[in-house]
Chain A
């Protein structure tokens, strides 16, 4: 008996079964959002017991916003790569380290002026973009049909290699990148109603905002951006309409490396970069992207900022050494509440 009625629902089901369409993040968020609310409540309660007032919280919030913006930039890199090529790119952290390190090395021969710093930062970022592209071409492109775990392991391997090379080149000691304006050294502070803001934080926010806007414009307004979005929705269909999916993958890696490098460079004046800073920042960017649903750009930004702020609040009320624990605990908890990550008991259902 023939059995081939093509009702619209049926076609819809078939298409849905064939394409792993990223679901809107909003529908996925409630567990994560609830979790964040709970975490904030706990932190506020803990702070109460330590006698924190509004000013202290405002201070922690301001500090958290700066690191959060950097997490957001790194997280965006994860999202770009994941959406376009389906890879979770662990090497992302390497570019967060390479950006400032290259920048510092380039500053050496350059004149010690704002223009020199800008030039160094631009060249460093471009170099990171190029290495991102290279990573895709050399390591990931050949494995495009391999299982996800193999591709992740490749990115982890790339991360470790890059960090190892960085250790060779720069050694284990921390470096100093001067703050962006001579007017405001990193330790120059701006007092806003009792809350102290580092001048560099203003640079971080400004750069982050400009980058978010530029990214939005890129995806909305350029052919390459639109092609990348098409790849994210459906790779096969994108290929059918003539988009060179592999090149988009390379572009996505370059873009992600750029975002990571920018994040690393703006953060550097307030952290003293080291060869191994990428691991922590990369992982935290990943946590932020998971918090945002892994496929949503606004979600990644929100996730990054939320993680930065919460972590700052957490660090304010617990032992300083346990600051990093928060992000990784969040990672595990978020993964568990993240529906896509569960083993589907039946794929064909």
Chain B
């Protein structure tokens, strides 16, 4: 089966410190894939490399048949990869609705000239964007917060704002870096059903997550990263029983 995203032999070293060594994995279209592993295993680094905000030391990342290495991050976004961040990245001073509108940037006329002159075409486009943004805000249950600046929004909702902003780009692949961290169980439930809905609408989801029960329930497939190397992959139930995975996780229990 053709992979939507393929990571080929990616190695990343920071000043000689190897964060990832020879990582290869495939994400098939329409699946929810989870990447797990102990802290410092290199999960976030891998995500940064996929989103092209970091360059790999060696190796290649191929998305829909096209190499992403060397592309600027915004081009990768335009190819259909949207992401959320481990440390929530919001725009202070901008409302939740505006966050979603920024997510719709690719469909917006970006010319400064038409912006300055406020041309009728721009006004029409702006009206359409606002409708679309409102629809997304409603879909993610953020209506009550839509006109509120992001810095006032509770943390749990900010993750949802990030998700709304990412979905607004109409991605083919959604990269979520610890989307459940800092959320309460109810919020995690809501997030999980939102991700399933996105998947059902054709979005492929690749996420880093710590909450194993959430991974078990949500993911179609799991990859396990430990100390920069993939040590296991497969359906969640299988991976959970894998002795290497148990060792990687239990080892730490002993050592702690």
Contacts and interface: CB of A to CB of B under 8 A. Distances in A.
Direct contact of A and B (CB under 8 A): yes
B39 A346 contact: no
A30 to B, nearest CB: 14
Nearest to A5: B252
A3 B252 contact: yes
Contacts of A49: none
Given A5-B251, A5-B256, A9-B17, A349 B53 contact: yes
Interface residues of B, number: 22
B26 interface: no
Given A10-B39, A348-B87, A5 B53 contact: no
Contacts of A5: 38-40, 251-252, 255-256
Nearest to B40: A10
Interface in A1-45: 1-7, 9-10, 13
Contacts of A3: 38-39, 210, 249, 252
A7 B253 CA distance: 12
Given A346-B54, A348-B86, A1 B249 contact: yes
Nearest to B248: A5
Contacts of B45: 349
A15 to B, nearest CB: 12
Interface in B30-44: 38-40, 44
B212 interface: yes
B73 interface: yes
Nearest to A2: B253
A13 B44 contact: no
Interface string A316-336: 000000000000000000000
Contacts of A4: 39, 252, 256
B54 A1 contact: no
A145 B86 CA distance: 25
Contacts of A13: 17, 40
Contacts of B244: none
Nearest to B212: A1
B48 interface: yes
A256 B193 CA distance: 60
Interface in B82-116: 85-87
B84 to A, nearest CB: 13
A4 B249 CA distance: 9
A345 interface: yes
Contact of B53 (A1, A6, A10, A345): A345
Nearest to B211: A1
A177 to B, nearest CB: 49
Contacts of A345: 53-54, 73
Given A4-B256, A5-B252, A349 B38 contact: no
Interface in B17-70: 17, 38-40, 44-45, 48, 53-54
Contact of B40 (A9, A346, A348, A349): A9
Contact of A348 (B39, B44, B249, B256): B44
A6 B255 CA distance: 8
Nearest to A13: B40
Interface in B122-157: none
B63 to A, nearest CB: 18
B54 A7 contact: no
A112 to B, nearest CB: 59
A2 B252 contact: yes
A4 B48 CA distance: 22
B235 to A, nearest CB: 17
Contacts of B253: 2
B236 to A, nearest CB: 12
Interface string A249-276: 0000000000000000000000000000
Interface in B201-228: 210-212
A1 B252 CA distance: 11
B48 A349 contact: yes
A13 B38 CA distance: 14
Given A348-B87, A349-B54, A1 B210 contact: yes
A1 B48 CA distance: 24
Contacts of B73: 345
Nearest to A23: B15
Contacts of A6: 255-256
A346 B40 CA distance: 16
A9 B40 CA distance: 8
A212 to B, nearest CB: 30
A339 B212 CA distance: 39
Contacts of B85: 348
Contacts of B211: 1
Contacts of A2: 249, 252-253, 256
A7 B40 contact: yes
B89 to A, nearest CB: 9
Interface of B: 17, 38-40, 44-45, 48, 53-54, 73, 85-87, 210-212, 249, 251-253, 255-256
Given A2-B253, A5-B39, 5 more contacts: A1-B210, A1-B212, A4-B256, A10-B39, A13-B40
Interface of A: 1-7, 9-10, 13, 345-346, 348-349
27 contacts: A1-B210, A1-B212, A1-B249, A2-B252, A2-B256, A3-B38, A3-B39, A3-B210, A3-B252, A4-B39, A4-B252, A4-B256, A5-B39, A5-B40, A5-B251, A5-B255, A6-B255, A9-B17, A10-B40, A13-B40, A345-B54, A345-B73, A346-B48, A348-B44, A348-B85, A348-B86, A349-B54
Nearest 3 interchain pairs by C-beta: A5-B252, A10-B40, A346-B53
